[in-house]
């Protein structure tokens, strides 16, 4: 059995069948080489997953990427909250009106849409990946499958190492949202099982100590509000976003409320 041209184990295949029985068919795509290791998107009501197929990826690494993204599809079916760039909401919607007011209040400091989308994705993954990885650990125990997370973690480490180079001036609310995104990454790495935690902490303290402080604050929020069910994840996402001062840049959509309301 193959996914995007790669042979996968019978166990992963049966996990896929189980997920599809709950979520409907999943479309798999080969990812652009510049893209991340994997990404998930719900488009026109269909679940799409993009995965890297580099030949140096081992099977346990490839299967981790596929399974990780599949768990995001399950979260969507279970109506977990999601973070979106506020500007992505159409004219006339109540979200758009809120954003229009927000942008007026911000004056010239309109944040680039691309960076706002990136930040929304990173906030989404900080909170929702904790549940995704919990689900994968349960699958490892119940289905006797082994996932290898090193590819994803090493990729994230190398990326952060580059961005934390000396001389980068970081301040809250800048055009590229680098301060906020690095604070989200700090919280994500410190709450993960990455073996690079200690070296990353050193890098942050050396090059961006105020970002590390903000990252610790985000971790405290996660610990206080929780992330283990959709309600807790919603509360955490809103509180983290507000702690970063980005209520006008990023909205949190709650599909569980009748109107699919936002916070
Ligand atoms: Zn994820």
CA–centroid distance, 94 to ligand 1, in Å, is 28
Q: What is the pLDDT of residues 183-239, one digit of tens each?
A: 999 999 999 989 999 999 999 999 999 999 999 999 999 999 999 999 999 999 999
With cut-offs at 50, 70 and 90, classify the pLDDT of residue 7.
Answer: very high
**Per-residue pLDDT at 140:** 97
- The predicted model gives 153-173 an average pLDDT of 84
pLDDT tens digits, 81-130:
999 888 776 555 555 555 555 554 444 345 677 888 899 999 999 999 99
Measure the CA–CA gap between 220 and 218, rounded to whole angstroms: 5
Task: Decide if pLDDT at 55 tops 50.
Answer: yes
pLDDT digits (tens, 9 = 90+) for 166-199: 656 788 887 788 999 999 999 999 999 899 999 9
- What whole-number distance in Å separates Cα of residue 136 and Cα of residue 229? 16
Nearest alpha carbon to residue 242 among 231, 252, 257: 252
Structural element, H or E, at residue 7:
strand 6-7
| Ligand 1 center–CA 30 separation, angstroms | 17
> Which residue, 69, 124, 106, 111, is CA-closest to 251?
124
Distance 106 CA to ligand 1 centre (A): 31
Q: How far, in Å, CA of 51 to CA of 47, rounded?
A: 13
Q: Indicate the domain borders of the chain.
A: 2-77, 82-253
Return the pLDDT at 128. 98
How far does residue 127's CA lie from ligand 1's centre (Å)?
Answer: 9
């Amino acid at each position: 059995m193959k996914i995007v041209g790669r042979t996968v184990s019978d166990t992963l295949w049966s996990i896929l069948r189980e997920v599809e029985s709950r979520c409907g068919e999943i479309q798999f795509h080969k990812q652009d080489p510049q893209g991340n290791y994997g990404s998930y998107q719900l488009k026109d009501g269909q679940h799409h997953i993009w995965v890297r197929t580099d030949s140096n990826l081992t099977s346990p690494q490839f299967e981790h990427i596929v399974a990780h993204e599949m768990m995001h599809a399950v979260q969507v079916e279970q109506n977990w909250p999601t973070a979106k760039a506020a500007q992505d909401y159409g004219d006339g919607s109540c979200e758009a009106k809120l954003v229009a007011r927000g942008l007026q209040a911000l004056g010239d400091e309109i944040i680039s849409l691309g960076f706002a989308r990136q930040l929304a994705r990173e906030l989404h993954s900080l909170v929702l990946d904790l549940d995704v990885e919990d689900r994968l650990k349960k699958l490892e125990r119940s289905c006797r499958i082994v996932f290898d997370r090193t590819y994803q973690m090493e990729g994230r480490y190398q990326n952060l190492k580059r961005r934390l180079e000396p001389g980068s001036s970081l301040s809250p609310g800048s055009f590229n949202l680098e301060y906020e995104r690095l604070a989200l990454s700090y919280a994500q790495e410190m709450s993960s099982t990455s073996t690079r935690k200690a070296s990353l902490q050193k890098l942050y303290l050396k090059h961006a100590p105020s970002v590390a402080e903000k990252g610790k604050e985000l971790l405290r929020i996660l610990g206080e509000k929780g992330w283990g069910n959709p309600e807790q994840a919603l509360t955490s996402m809103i509180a983290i976003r507000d702690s970063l001062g980005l209520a006008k840049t990023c909205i949190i959509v709650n599909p569980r409320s009748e109107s699919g309301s936002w916070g």
